[in-house]
Amino acid sequence: MAHEEIEALAAFMTRTPGLAVLTGAGVSTASGIPDYRDDEGDWKRSPPMQHQVFMDSHAARQRYWARALVGFRALHEARPNPAHRALAELEARGLVTGVITQNVDGLHRRAGSRRVIDLHGRADVVRCMACGARRMRHDLHDELGELNPDWLELGASVGPDGDADLERDFSDFRVPSCQRCGDGIWKPDVVFFGDSVPRDTVTEAFSLLDECRGLLVVGSSLMVYSGYRFARRAARDNKPMACLNLGRTRADDLFDLKVTASAETGLTALAEALEEMAPRPADQA
Strands (E), 7-144: 19-23, 96-101, 116-118, 121-128, 134-136
Name the residue type at position 148: N
β partners of residue 98: 20
Active-site residues, by number, are: 120
Contacts of 75 (CB under 8 A, 6+ apart): 33, 105, 123, 161, 162
β partners of residue 129: none
Task: Establish whether 131 is an annotated binding residue.
Answer: yes
Task: Establish whether 212 is an annotated binding residue.
Answer: no
Contacts of 160 (CB under 8 A, 6+ apart): 25, 33, 34, 35, 36, 45, 48
Nearest to 189 by CA among 157, 167, 162, 208: 162
End-to-end CA distance of the chain: 41
β partners of residue 101: 23, 118
Which residues are known binding-site members for Zn(2+)?
Answer: 128, 131, 178, 181
